[in-house]
Structure 1
Amino acid sequence: MNKVILVGRLAQDPEVRYTQTGKAVASFSLAVNRYAGQGQTEADFIPIVAWEKLAEICGNNLTKGQRILIEGRLTIRSYEANDGQKRRVAEVIAQNMEFLEKKQSHSSAESTGGNSFDAKSFGKEVFPEEEIPF
């Protein structure tokens, strides 16, 4: 099974291009922290590639520094560079993406990931018995 799940921050804004057949492709790097010993962490910069609708969503909604979760598969491909050298690159082909925080904003509700609620209103909405959703 080839499945990768990464949580990190965008190292740069996604770059969206279109193939000759019109398919959208977005590429960006995800900075993922890892434990480096003695309470230290280091970042690995993982190249991510998204295709078609997901590529357009990434291009329209993601910005540098935003925290996201990427689910996909690892692929290793070879290509010949301009200097004639054969190169190999490992990248994650994104199949699913989740926003872990909204774009940066000055609003306190949005800067906390939009996960705030009014505790005073909790439990106020009561459904009549015939409208219970289960």
Structure 2
Amino acid sequence: MNKVILIGRCTRDPEVRYSQGENATAVARYTLAVDRQFKRDGEQSADFINCIAFGKRGEFAEKYLRKGTKIAVVGRIQTGSYTNKDGQKVYTTDVIVDEHEFVESKAASQNNGSGSTPVSTDGFTNIPDGIDEQLPFN
């Protein structure tokens, strides 16, 4: 079985091209920055995954996805290779998108996590001191 599920942010606006011919098909390419669960000192904290969406999914990407948009992607991994202009063989790994959808609101996406409610590094919202009586729990 070849199935991958990713949640991350678009690193740039999708690059969309249309195939030639009578029934032109959208082909959208974008890169998803997916946070790593664990990281070692000196290592990057995210992986950058190339995604390709065809047809209606490509049109959706062109219309709605922008740099910083947080989405969930379901698809399959596809590997390939080609010879570049210098004669070197280049290997590729892409996710062919079967589904993608938003995982946060448009307002949250525009703020990119810089909203008025601070979040600590452990993923929990910081609650200001002195509002204990306003909380529905203790």
Q: Is the pair's TM-score, using the shorter chain for normalization, greater than 0.5?
A: yes
Does the 8 Å contact 2:68/2:109 carry over to 1?
A: no
CA distance in 2: counterparts of 1:71 and 1:106, whole angstroms: 20
1:82/1:104 CA distance change after superposition, 3 Å: farther
1:15/1:37 CA distance change after superposition, 3 Å: same
CA distance in 1: counterparts of 2:110 and 2:29, whole angstroms: 29
Number of residue pairs the alignment of both structures matches: 109
Q: Deviations over 1:38-68 (max 9, x none)?
A: 8x97011000000011000011001100100
Partner of 1:11: 11
1:80/1:9 CA distance change after superposition, 3 Å: same
**Bigger share in strand:** 1
Does the 8 Å contact 2:75/2:98 carry over to 1?
A: yes
Partner of 1:82: 85
User: What letter is aligned with 2:10?
Assistant: L
TM-score normalized by the length of structure 2: 0.70
Q: % of aligned pairs identical?
A: 44
Alpha-carbon distance, 1:101 to partner = 2.1
Partner of 2:130: none
- The within-5 A match list for 1:18-57 is 18-21=18-21, 22-34=24-36, 35-37=38-40, 42-57=45-60
Gaps of 5+ in 1: 113-134
Partner secondary structure for residue 53 of structure 1:
helix
User: What letter is aligned with 1:13?
Assistant: D
Does the 8 Å contact 2:69/2:109 carry over to 1?
A: no
Alpha-carbon distance, 1:23 to partner = 1.5
CA distance in 1: counterparts of 2:12 and 2:44, whole angstroms: 20
Alpha-carbon distance, 1:107 to partner = 9.2
Alpha-carbon distance, 1:19 to partner = 1.6
Partner of 1:97: 100
Q: Deviations over 1:74-109 (max 9, x none)?
A: 00011121222221100100000111124457999x
TM-score normalized by the length of structure 1: 0.72
Partner secondary structure for residue 60 of structure 2:
helix
Does the 8 Å contact 1:7/1:32 carry over to 2?
A: yes
Gaps of 5+ in 2: 116-138
